[in-house]
Chains A and B, each alone.
Chain A
Amino acid sequence: MPGGGELLKTMPPIPVVSGDLSFNTQFEPGQQTMLPVIAPVFLVPIGKRGLIQAEFELEAETVHHSDAGFDPVPVSKSLEYAEFDYFVNRYITLVGGRFAEPFDIYKERLDARWIRDLQEPPLIFAFSDQSGNGGEVRGGVPLGRQVDLNYTAYFSAETSGEIAGSQRMMGLRSSVFLPGPRLEIGFSFNHTLQDTHATGFGTDLTWTMRKIPLDLRAESLISPDAGNGYWVEGAWRLTNSSLPRWLHRSQAVLRQEQYFTPSKPLEDTELPTVNTTRVFGGWNFYLTDGLRISAAYGRQFADGGNHNLWDIGINFRLLK
């Protein structure tokens, strides 16, 4: 096992541009939504221990109603993160600037469209889909050979602005990762220090199984202010040798999720306004490791009425 001294001192790093381009279209009763997204990521190493990284997101959601034609097409711009990271030592990293909120795992790890297994994000993602302007302390600490402890604590100040606004909030996430079985279990906490003063607790689980080609992911949200919910998703890589060879680059996905509203729903939130259950089944096919086409069907059961959702799209990962 490597000694793990100073990080990557062998070759000096250079700036890298990454990110993704994607186009998705979703069909619901009476309307079609088209969503082209450009999300470049810029990585600029600073010295031996620093990194500046930023991700912008540009999207133009186009909605067509079968009875009323096209809505106006607003171009939405957002700064997901723009931060300076300083690796203090092997176990502590300081982050300053604008950062993606590390509540559960979806925002930090699975939000990129070339990574997410289903293009439609989970219902409870609306709670954690935000960025903060402030600072973080974070790191990964090996506790022996078979257990890693991850931690992140953060504080964000209130900032106005359409592209890079943030709320005054604080929170933490901690997880235990077992590299052997490739299992991670995490716990999150977030408290908003303004307006609603909402508090949320979250748990997350990812498990990449060794014996069978199945990735299991799940998250939950428990909040007296924002409501309760969960999603569980399984992605099966069709690598079995008995299957046709062309299928080996594909993946079948299933997701079940539920959301339950609080007694007094929050204002200005994209969380559902009624109790909602959704089931999704999807299919991803990797033309190359960086180019994927996808299709999914979902059924939503809600107090306001049930309906179908269809989603097809293409995602391209950029790395230069």
Chain B
Amino acid sequence: MRITICTSLIFLSLVASAKSGSNSAGQAAQTDAEYGEQAYKSNCTRCHTAPPALSPRQANTIMRHMRIKANLPARDAQAVYQYLLQSDEKN
């Protein structure tokens, strides 16, 4: 019973992701800002709420921490870092 539930969930998820992935692949090249926002929403918000405003030096430390905690690829860590700084500047 439990194996059936888990297998079904994984199968449904894969089908949905394949569909969404093919749509994304067709999109035009992203800017750094767009990629940073996407990386932030894809990686950070799936576990926690937005952090408080961070100084650039604090954000640098936090991103090192998240590279470990979430196995964040270096590319995405850099993009999220830039996104956080730009978000704080806007606010």
Residues of A in contact with B (beta carbons under 8 Å apart)? 1-5, 7-8, 10-16, 18, 41, 43, 45, 51, 53, 85, 87, 90-91, 93, 95, 108-110, 114-115, 138-142, 145-146, 148, 150-152, 175, 178-183, 185, 203, 205-208, 210, 215-216, 218, 220, 228-230, 232, 258, 260, 286, 289-290, 319
Contact = CB atoms under 8 A, between A and B. Distances in A.
A152 B58 CA distance: 26
A109 B47 contact: yes
Nearest to A109: B47
Where chain A touches its partner, the secondary structure class is strand
A253 B27 CA distance: 34
A148 B30 contact: no
B23 to A, nearest CB: 8
A5 B57 CA distance: 18
A181 B46 CA distance: 11
B90 interface: no
Given A146-B24, A146-B25, A208 B67 contact: no
Nearest to A140: B73
Contacts, number: 185
Interface residues of B, number: 59
B68 A51 contact: yes
19 contacts: A2-B82, A4-B76, A4-B78, A4-B79, A8-B63, A10-B81, A14-B60, A16-B61, A85-B67, A95-B68, A109-B47, A140-B67, A175-B71, A178-B20, A181-B16, A181-B17, A185-B10, A210-B20, A289-B50
B49 interface: yes
A13 B55 CA distance: 10
Interface of B: 2, 5-6, 9-10, 13-14, 16-17, 20-21, 23-25, 29-30, 32, 35-36, 38-39, 41-43, 45-52, 54-65, 67-79, 81-82
Contact of A51 (B9, B54, B65, B81): B65
B10 A140 contact: no
Nearest to A112: B48
A228 B46 contact: no
Which of A13, A146, A152, A218 counts the most B-chain CB atoms under 10 A from its CB? A13
B46 A16 contact: no
Contact of A203 (B6, B48, B68): B6
Given A43-B61, A51-B61, A290-B52, 7 more contacts: A2-B75, A8-B81, A13-B64, A14-B55, A16-B58, A18-B65, A148-B76
B67 A15 contact: no
Contacts of A141: 73
Nearest to A85: B68
Given A179-B42, A289-B52, A51 B64 contact: yes
A216 B16 CA distance: 13
A258 B29 CA distance: 45
